Structures are given as structure tokens and as C-alpha cells.
Structure 1
Amino acid sequence: MLNRDVLLSAFDAAIRARTGEDRVAAVVLRIEGLRERRLRFGFAAADAAVAQVTALVGVALRPVDTVLRVGEDLFALLLPGMRNAQHALLAATRLTQAFEQPVAGQGEPWRARPVMGIALYPDHGGTPEAVLLRADMAMDEALRLGEQHAVHDGASDPVTVRYGELRDAIESNRLAVFLQPIFDLQNGGVAAAESLARWPAGGASGGISPADFVPFAEQSGLIGPLTHWSINATLRHAAQLSPSAEMKFSINLSPRVFDQPGLVEKLIGALEIWGIAPERIVAEVTETALVNDLEQTVRLLRRLRDRGLGVAIDDFGTGYASIAYLRKFPATELKIDISLVRGLAGDARGAKLMRAIIDMAHHLDLLTVAEGVEDPATRALLTEMGCDFGQGHYLGEPIPAGDFITRFGH
């Protein structure tokens, strides 16, 4: 695998050789599927796959172009003689077309998906390193948008989330579990906690909001590893509770992981490893899972229910779920979205709607959890309405899991 100095030297040579107003395009190319092939079939199959990919890329490019492997599934392409960004996009299109069919070679054909970020010298930077950085940023943007290529937009500010940094943070356990208490509104006390992933400050990107890195993980294919990390990290903390504690833990499951094989088995296996009873875990699923693939979602969550886990519909009331969905969905809890809870004490019509939702949920044998409880008046009103549980900044902020176990776990 090439090192950084070789790549920068090759780029510098391409810059010195350019003529007139021609640009040198840098393309950071990620081949989705390469890493998975190594994990599934081993290093020999991965090396054969790299050779296949390199050959396909070489055929799609011109003889004057340069292809350098710079990571397990990353390549850097140097394309001299580019007139403008559109010219570089034509090369990206040729590359995309080269991977439209399954890759044939050693072993069974496999699906490789190229994702490219493009930046040009001197338009997007005055040095090879600056241009390559912006090409890398453009690739991350393509991943975030679910596109196969993107050209750097000219902004000098780096993107918030970088693919390599997030993958490394997951694999090296540099993320953190925060737990937010869920209060029993009818009987008092902390009855449960929602597990939330945090990316603390300290890396090259600093502290990153989950509102940024979780959607990025979903778009880039990292949601599977992130979910696996979240499950095990949460259960590790849950296992530290006193044996007398019966607290439940909610873990968010993205709809993007539902089509990944072995999800239920991995979750049940993790419960066995950490010695956690399935009844103490609630899988939270957003309403979007209902419209993405209702039948597949129902099948998967019914398997979790059959194993004893709870299932919560998260963010209820944001526009997707209907009575028909609730009839089919194997849920045990309804988490009412903050948009319906905020300002409830001063909204008579909203209060009537809230009471109707709580009554409907109870008639369907569903527990109710109100999200976004931010003042004592809202808590009191929800308690009077018969809402089972509440969650929000007034009741308790998310805190590091270790602190939560110390405070509430005995």
C-alpha cells in the first residue's frame, strides 16, 4: 500500500508537467465492498479483489492517468490535462460505468460500488496536500448524500464528519455511551434509560454531534458497525448494575440495519455474553422504518419480541405511523415525539390530542413515553393524563454511562 510521500510526489510531478491552463484533477475513490470481502473470505480473496478493481479502473482511465492505492478500500487517482470540473466528471462517469456489472474474477462475481470525491489543482488548493484533502472531503459529501461522486464545492471549511475518522472511532472504541433517564410518571423514580452514542472531543474532528455522525453513518454504510458497537457498549454498562436493579435500557436501531443478515442473532448473542435478560432491553425504531419496508420490519421485530425484548416506536407523531400500522406493528411502547409534548400546558387543543394518543396506546396495550418534558407543568399534566413514562431535560440530561450507573444503578 502506498505511503503519503509517494502520493504527494506523484501529484507534484503531475503539476510540474501541466501546460497552459490545464488542471490536474485529484480523485479519491472508495470501493464499497472491498473491506467486506476481506472480512467474509479472507486476505487472499481481498487481494484478488483489489487486483480486479485496479484492472477495471485502469481500463476506464487514460494511459496518462495515475492510480495509487492509499488504503484498504481507497485509491487516489491523478488526472492531468483536465480543462475544468466537467471534464473530470466525465472521467468519473466512465469509472462508474465500469462497475455497473458484478466484478468477475477469482471466486464468485461480487458487487463493487465506487464512490468518488473530486478536486482540481489549482482551483481547490495551491498544494497537492490541500487538493487531496478537498477531494477526500468531496468523497465524504458523496457518501453523505448517497451519491457516487461529488466535486468539491469550493468552501474552505472542512466537512464535519470524515468517513475514515468515524470508522476508526468505532473500531478503536473512541465513542462514548451516554444514558438519559426515563422517569416513571405514575410511581416516581428512574425506571429506564435511553442509550445515546456520543463522539467526544479529542480527535482531528473534535466533538461531533450525533445529529451529524449518525445520519452520515446511515448514508456511508457505517451504521452496521455503529449499531454493533452501541449494542455491546450499552450492555457492558447495563451489566454493572446491582443484581436487584430491574432497570430497562432502550437501544436505537436504524432501519438501515434491518436488511443486514444476522442482526437478531448478534443482539441475542450479545445479551448472552453480558448476562442481560432480554426483557430488560427495548429496541427503539423510528416511524420511518414503518414506511421503508413494513413487512420486513414487522418480521424482524417480531423475532425480537419472541425472544423477550421490548419494541418502542420512537418519535411517534411526526407524520408516518397510522392506526393501520399500529395494528400490525409488534410494539410494546409508544414514544410520543417532542413536537407534541413541547408547550403542552398552554395548548388546550394539543392537550386533547395528547390525551387521545395516551388512551389509544393503552387500549392497544402499549406503554407511553413522552419525550421532551422540559418543565414541571408539562410533567404534572402528563401524569394526570395517565402517561406512563417521561423523558426530557427537565427530568434528566443525558450523562456518561458510568456516572449514570453510579447515580441510579444501586
Structure 2
Amino acid sequence: MGKDFAQPPHFTPKDRPLSAHPLPLSEPAQAASAEPEAYLAALVELATPVLLADAGGRVSFVNRAATALLGCTAAPAIALDALFASCGVGGRIALPDGSAPQRFAQLKLSDGRAVNVEARLLPDGGAALTLTDVSAFVREAERARRDPLTGLVNRVTLHATLGRLLQAGKPLTLMALDLDRFKSVNDTLGHPIGDTLLRKVAERLGTVAEDGDVVARLGGDEFTILKPGSFTREQIEIIAKRIVDLVGRTYALEGHMIHIGASVGITQAPHDGSDNDVLMKNADLALYRSKAEGRGRYRFFEQKMDEQMQARRAIELDLRQALALQEFELAYQPQVDLATQEVVGFEALLRWRHATRGLVSPLEFIPVAEETGLIGAIGEWVLRTACRDAVQWPEAITVGVNLSPLQFRNPSLAQTVMSALASSGLAAERLELEITENALLEDTDTVLVLLKQLRDLGVRVSMDDFGTGYSSLAYLQKFPFDRLKIDQSFVRGMGANPEASAIVRAVAALGASLGIKTTAEGVETEEQLAAIRNEGCTHVQGYFTGRPMALADARALLVQPRKVAAIVEEHGL
């Protein structure tokens, strides 16, 4: 290993005279070893690698352990720096002097090992150098700094680097990345392929990074790029677009063609802040906005994002309290059969009456409930309450309950529905569960299995907001829905938009051919009602035929059944 010189692996007094006391010994040791030859003989066999150098920096002694560690032998009187260079050692150590009697350095051997060197001043002006192989410690420290899967630096290292740059007042850009649709890859193809995909993503990010940039994996499918230096918004936009494009390109892994995307959140110092935690939070807020606006894009941090997040946090805290204190209530909107003009069911609509906020719109709190995972508990409350209320109605009247896409991630959904039916005594065929296309997008096969389990219970299933998704028709081939609910945007556009009327007509005809009921939502005028009837829809729901009402009003409406015209007249619509 290393270079081989003709000289012996160590020097003796025959090769070159040594000082009388080459190493500082204790008095007992000096008495026991009065002869330099005996002392050097002991040093030769010492397990600790030792070198001696004179005041001029020339090597006067190298023991066997040092020779073995360095991997080469030394010529007599060779300069210390020359010895290290001839052995392929990287780095150097300054020799001690009167102002600094002890010096330290870390060198790198030709085989990559790390060696700590301690040099102590000797009485004659020379130096004694002891070498310690610290490769194992260095490797362990490096592992602690890096993500074991991708080899990128980890969160700890990123924070440390970010902190040093900020403390030095350096400008920088921080880009937080999150992979879109990665979870479905992990769930469907398995974690080994998911891990391989993460490594490929890391490689692609490495091609975007420039000298001085730090690319980190924070865990899961979260990555961050730290870019020191002052850059304009336009310059960073170019990089962000490249990241989104590069990460979003197809991956061919073990026979699978995998498509994912990347969302990016960007913040810059000192413009957006000069604190580690603040900048990391800003990047996350911008990333959150990027994902909320459709994924596969980038967003720069704006101060209003923090304000909106604080408001969202306040809603989350209030939601948790509302769930604990049962501050929610249900309103029921009539569903009318156009053939008989009679109420045949109600849709249960969630309401939150806050003590100080008043009536909070579902558009405001449902997204927060979904993001925080509270939608599971809230959705179960709605289901159980609706079943318990509906059992008081005539046996022919159904109740519709909306299910969040996130509720389909719970494999015990069918058991929850079964429990709600059993505890309330409601017949399964009187419960109609409404889902949107979003529930089917991420993991269609799993959702279809759950839908089949629900159908086996006897529960009816309808697709809400039909026509707004790009693959709604495809799902009709995979699952026999009981009802299609035409989105209200088409109903409201029927008067002035021929295309909206054509869509309503097509959906009604599709439902008729497949034996599926069609409900038009959002009917607010007599003209819309007439148009819906003419297009062939079977049912209608909207303010014109009945606003959402309390349970007591729903019961009163069912006690004395009335035709649509009577309902409209009574409510002054």
C-alpha cells in the first residue's frame, strides 16, 4: 500500500543522531531508560503511530506503527511536508513553536482514511507527532449528516448550514419541494420502488444544483434546495420551472412507467426573514399554496400566506372544540321526483354555528377539516346523526350523506356505515352515500372495493358534481352508480349557454340508457325547473323546490306531503 522507499521503515541512532531527549518523559521514565537507543527501541515498537521532527521540520524518526498507517517509508532527513506528499497524504500541519506549543490537524490518507495529528513542542525545538486513525468516527459523523437513502444532506445539516449563512448575513434562496402522487406509487408498487424513485429524484435535483448549493432530503418525499447568493425573482423562477419540469418527467423503474410531479415553495433572505425557523416556515407556506392551487407548480412566499395560515390554525382549534362540544348541526334539503312532484328524500348538509363567528360556511371549514384529518370524526358524526334523524321519517324517504375523499382512505368505512345503520335502525336502502370524482382519482381500485362493500350492505351510491371531472364517464364502466347528480354550474348556465343545456341533456340521456337516476342540483327559478324537466332529468334539488331546513321542518313537510308548486308557494319562492 502506498509508495515503497529503499530506506528502512524507521530510523535508528545509526542513521541519524537524535537529540538526547526526543520526547518529554516523566522523571521515573527517564531514570529507567537513560540510553537513547533503549528509549528509541521502545518507540519503534509503540502501538501508537509516532513521528519526530527537528526544529527545521525534517523527519528524524518514524516508528513502525506510523509507517504502516502512512503506507510508505521515509528517506532520512526528509522534510515533513515532503514525506506527506510522497505518501499521498492530503493536508498539512504547522509545527509548534514557542507561541503555540501544541498544534492539531486532520489529514487524509491516500486510501481516503482520516487521521488526526497532534504535534507537541520538544525541548530542543523539534516536535513529536502522534497520529490517530479517526476514519470510523468521521464516517459515523458523515452518516449523521446525510440521508441514508439518497445520500443527500439531512434536515440537521440543512439547518446548520442555513444558520451559518444567516448569521453571516448572507443572502440566499430556500426552495421546499414535495412530490405529487408519490403516496400512490408507494401504496400500489411497494416501498422498494418508492425508495428507488426517491433516489432518482435526488439525482435529478443534483443536476439542477450548482456549486455551493445544498440539496437536502428532509424525510418522506420532502426535499429542500438551499441556494446561497443574491438572485432575482426571475432567475429563481427559471430554476423552479426546471425543477418542476425535470422531476415531472416519466421514470422507467423495473418495468413500470411512473408519473409524478413536484410542487415548489420559495422564500428568500433577507427579504422574507433572517431566521432559520421563519424561513423554513415561509417555504412550507409557499409550498402549501402551490399544492392547493393544483400541484405541479411553484409559488413565492407572500406575507398574506402567513396571515391566512394563522386564520386557518384558528379555525382548526375551533373545529376541534366544536367536535368535542358537538357544535355542529344538520340541515336537510328536499329532493323532488319530477314525475310525481313529491319530496322523496333529503340531502344532509353540515352546518357549524360558532359562538362568536356565527354560521361558518362549509367552504371555509371543510378544507381545514380534511387537511387536519378531522374530517374522519366529523364525517362519522354526520353519518350517524343523519341515519338517526332519517329513521323518524316515512319509510319511503331517503337521506343522502356526502363522503369526503379522505374518508375512503379508511379501510373500515364499510364497518362504520354498517354500525351507523345498526345503531339507528335505518334500512340500508334508505341511505344514499354521495361521492365526488376526487374520491376516485388517487387510488381508484381501493375506492371501488370500498364502494362494492357499501353496495353489498344494500346502501345506494351516487356520484356528486357529475360532469366536472375529466374521467367521470370512465368510472360509470367500473361501478354501477345509483344516481348521477348534475353539477349546479351546468344548471345555472342553461339559459344563456347552449353548451350547458347540451351537457344536461346528454347526462339525462346517459342516465336513462343506463337505468340511473339523474338529479339536477342548484335549481333556483321556475325557468330552470322547466328546462330541467324538458331535458329528461328524473329528480331536482335546489332553492326553488326547497331550501335546507331544520329537522323539525323536514318532519313537518313529510307529515303533510305537498307537490312542488305548493312547497314553492308556501316558502314564497
Distance 2:284 2:428 in 1: 40
Note the alpha carbon deviations across 1:128-183, whole angstroms, 9 max, x for none: xxxx9xx9999999878779xx9995449665443222122123211111111111
Distance 2:327 2:490 in 1: 35
- The equivalent residue for 1:212 is 364
- Structure whose alpha-carbon radius of gyration is higher: 2
Does the 8 Å contact 1:144/1:216 carry over to 2?
A: no
Does the 8 Å contact 2:484/2:517 carry over to 1?
A: yes
AA aligned opposite 1:385: E
Larger relative contact order (Cα-Cα within 8 Å, sequence gap ≥ 6): 1
> Residues 136, 238 of structure 1: CA spacing in aligned structure 2 closer, same or farther, 3 A cutoff?
farther
Distance 2:468 2:347 in 1: 19
- The equivalent residue for 1:232 is 384
Aligned ranges for residues 176-195 of structure 1 at < 5 Å?
176-195=329-348
- The equivalent residue for 2:324 is 171
Note the alpha carbon deviations across 1:91-138, whole angstroms, 9 max, x for none: xxx9x967659xxxxxxxxxxxxxxxx9xxxx99xxxxxxx9xx9999
Distance 1:202 1:250 in 2: 28
Note the alpha carbon deviations across 1:343-363, whole angstroms, 9 max, x for none: 424555543432222121111
Please say if 1:303 is aligned against 2:456: no
- The equivalent residue for 1:353 is 503
AA aligned opposite 1:224: G
Does the 8 Å contact 2:333/2:546 carry over to 1?
A: yes
> Residues 270, 100 of structure 1: CA spacing in aligned structure 2 closer, same or farther, 3 A cutoff?
same
How many corresponding residue pairs?
Answer: 317
Does the 8 Å contact 2:175/2:283 carry over to 1?
A: no
Distance 1:142 1:220 in 2: 16
Does the 8 Å contact 1:278/1:309 carry over to 2?
A: yes
Report the CA distance between 1:248 and its aligned residue: 0.6
Distance 1:139 1:202 in 2: 32
AA aligned opposite 1:381: A
Please say if 1:200 is aligned against 2:353: yes
> Residues 270, 289 of structure 1: CA spacing in aligned structure 2 closer, same or farther, 3 A cutoff?
same
Q: Identity percentage over the alignment?
A: 32
Report the CA distance between 1:58 and its aligned residue: 11
Note the alpha carbon deviations across 1:328-386, whole angstroms, 9 max, x for none: 12310000111221142455554343222212111111001001111112212222333
Report the CA distance between 1:236 and its aligned residue: 2.5
Which one of the candidate residues 400, 403, 425 is aligned to 1:275?
Answer: 425
Distance 1:344 1:352 in 2: 8
Does the 8 Å contact 2:286/2:302 carry over to 1?
A: no
- The equivalent residue for 2:465 is 315
Report the CA distance between 1:296 and its aligned residue: 1.6
AA aligned opposite 2:417: L
Which one of the candidate residues 280, 285, 292 is aligned to 2:442?
Answer: 292
Report the CA distance between 1:201 and its aligned residue: 3.1
- 159-168 or 392-401, larger mean C-alpha shift: 159-168
Note the alpha carbon deviations across 1:171-199, whole angstroms, 9 max, x for none: 32111111111111110121111111111
Report the CA distance between 1:280 and its aligned residue: 0.6
Report the CA distance between 1:221 and its aligned residue: 1.7
Does the 8 Å contact 1:146/1:219 carry over to 2?
A: no
Moved over 4 A (4+): 57-62, 80-90, 96-101, 135-147, 150-153, 155-160, 345-349
- 361-370 or 194-203, larger mean C-alpha shift: 194-203
AA aligned opposite 1:379: L
Report the CA distance between 1:269 and its aligned residue: 0.5
Tell me, what secondary structure is at the counterpart of 1:199? strand
**Runs of 5+ consecutive residues of structure 2 not aligned to the other structure:** 1-154, 177-213, 222-266, 293-298, 561-573
Aligned ranges for residues 95-244 of structure 1 at < 5 Å?
153-155=302-304, 160-162=311-313, 163-203=316-356, 205-239=357-391, 241-242=392-393, 244=394
Does the 8 Å contact 2:348/2:401 carry over to 1?
A: yes
AA aligned opposite 2:418: I
Does the 8 Å contact 1:298/1:330 carry over to 2?
A: no
- The equivalent residue for 1:332 is 482
Does the 8 Å contact 1:137/1:152 carry over to 2?
A: yes
Report the CA distance between 1:321 and its aligned residue: 3.1
Report the CA distance between 1:316 and its aligned residue: 0.6
AA aligned opposite 1:266: T
AA aligned opposite 1:170: L
Note the alpha carbon deviations across 1:11-30, whole angstroms, 9 max, x for none: xxxxxxxxxxxxxxxxxxxx
Distance 1:404 1:395 in 2: 13
Report the CA distance between 1:307 and its aligned residue: 0.8
CA RMSD of aligned residues (A): 4.4
Does the 8 Å contact 1:337/1:371 carry over to 2?
A: yes
